[in-house]
Amino acid sequence: QVQLVESGGGLVQPGGSLRLSCAVSGSIFSINAMGWYRQAPGKQRELVAVITSGGITNYADSVKGRFTISRDNAKNTVYLQMNSLKPEDMAVYYCNADAATIATRRYIEVWGQGTLVAVSS
């Protein structure tokens, strides 16, 4: 079984910064792509950033130049550094990973429980 646990959300003023972390636990055989998504009230969940196992990244246009995704493969952890936060960045942020367990060696998509990022003065 694979679990994702996010941390680092909270309240920040516009222009501020936050760093989200997501640790993958369980009997992990391998992790492919990892990413961050967000969902604001009344809106659909959207991709924020994704990073492959080889370190290739992709960002939503709305966060390019402000957010940075990174991962530590030794720790099975993905990070999202968020700078110059705007009120429109306020949402619940979800971690996502394509992970395979030792038992099955099959990749499945796993989601974290979400962490709230609030941007307000």
Alpha carbon of 68 to those of 2, 24, 59, 78, 103: distances in Å? 25, 19, 8, 11, 33
Instruction: Answer whether residue 32 shows pLDDT above 90.
Output: yes
Angle of CA points 34, 76, 60, to nearest 5°: 20
Q: What is the CA 74 to chain-centroid distance, rounded?
A: 17
At residue 81, the pLDDT reads 98
Q: What is the DSSP letter of 22?
A: E
> What is the percent of the chain where pLDDT is above 70?
100
At residue 1, the pLDDT reads 84
Only one residue has tokens 């995704």, namely 69
pLDDT tens figures, 46-97: 999 999 999 999 999 999 999 999 999 999 999 999 999 999 999 999 999 9
